[in-house]
Amino acid sequence: MPNVAVYGAACIDIHAVCFGKYVPGDSNPGSSYISTGGVGRNIAENCVRLGLHVDLVTVIGDDEHSSIIVGDCAKLGIGLEQSLFLKNAATPRYICTLDCDGSLVGAVAAMEALDRFSVADFEKRTSAGDKADIIVLDAGFPEAVISAACKRWSTKTLFFDPVSAAKAGKARSSLSAFSIIKPNLCEALSLAGLEQDAALSEPLHTAAKRSAEILYERGVGEVFVSLGRAGLLYYSESGCGIVRPLDMPLVNVSGAGDAASAGIVWASFSNCDTVQKARYAIASASLCVSSEYTVSKKLSQTYLEELAKEAEHEVIS
């Protein structure tokens, strides 16, 4: 079974869903629910559902939420043996508000525990990555840890998810170590060092291609830029293009990017070309947004292969 090591965030997701159109500055009637989340954990679960063996190296506190994450990972078969368990610390949390159409109104990521993961902690927990076929790294850890990981595994297949535009810059000096990165447009612009207001005044695919080209020139093997409902732009030595989302209902956008990342990781084990990786990524993301959960319970290898056939592809010169 292919082996993946994920170094990144695991947290508790607290979702608030509006019954009607969200009204800023007011108390909005709605419902709420709690689930397990975090970019690293979500990617790990998606990969397990696609038949991969996954070890997750993350940071977990000792509050009432820690047992939820531990129990959920055990049920899914995600290894946590090398994770850092902190005493007297809150487990990371992600609190988001979703509009009635499933779109994100706003969110707060309370991830202070991840800042306590030091280079020394990392160096004690490298065996998961050493034995893995592909290593997934998200930007939740401190910059020094990301740099240490890039130096240690520069010759391995190293996948990077920037998490947010604010955190993406942690990897700017280590870009040449990454085989694959999957930012959204704002994260790609941050990594490329482009001014966002000017870039976002251009058509989305123009700004995305310009940032992807810069990242590729700085040593990244394959770049996949998420454009939300506009699709996923890919850039590699084989060319540039966009794969469009599937025609599926939008229920909850949380976790879509993580699902896309897992689709790319899974496709990488099948020696797929860049276009096919993008097809699997957009199929996985489309399935995710059609579910109320951050990871679709319907995800499987067979279903993903069927969905990927429906993805429309457009070459960009």
pLDDT in tens, 250-300: 887 878 999 999 999 999 998 899 999 999 999 999 999 998 888 999 999
Which residues have C-beta within 8 Å of that of residue 85, sequence separation ≥ 6?
60, 61, 62, 66
Question: 120 lies in which domain range?
Answer: 3-315
What would the two tokens of residue 75 be?
A: 């049920």
What are the tens digits of pLDDT across the range 87-108? 988 899 989 899 998 888 988 8
- pLDDT recorded at residue 254: 79
What are the tens digits of pLDDT across the range 119-158? 999 999 999 999 999 999 999 999 999 999 999 999 999 9
**CATH number of the domain to which 132 belongs:** 3.40.1190.20
Starting at the edge strand found earlier in the chain, the sheet holding 3-7 runs 53-57, 3-7, 134-138, 157-161, 180-181, 222-226, 232-236, 239-243, 313-315
Q: Are 94 and 107 in contact (CB under 8 A)?
A: yes
Give the predicted TM-score (pTM) of the model.
0.92
Indicate if the pLDDT at residue 197 is higher than 80: no
Number of domains in the chain: 1
Please report how many Cα atoms fall inside a 13 Å half-sphere around the Cα of residue 35, on the Cβ side.
17
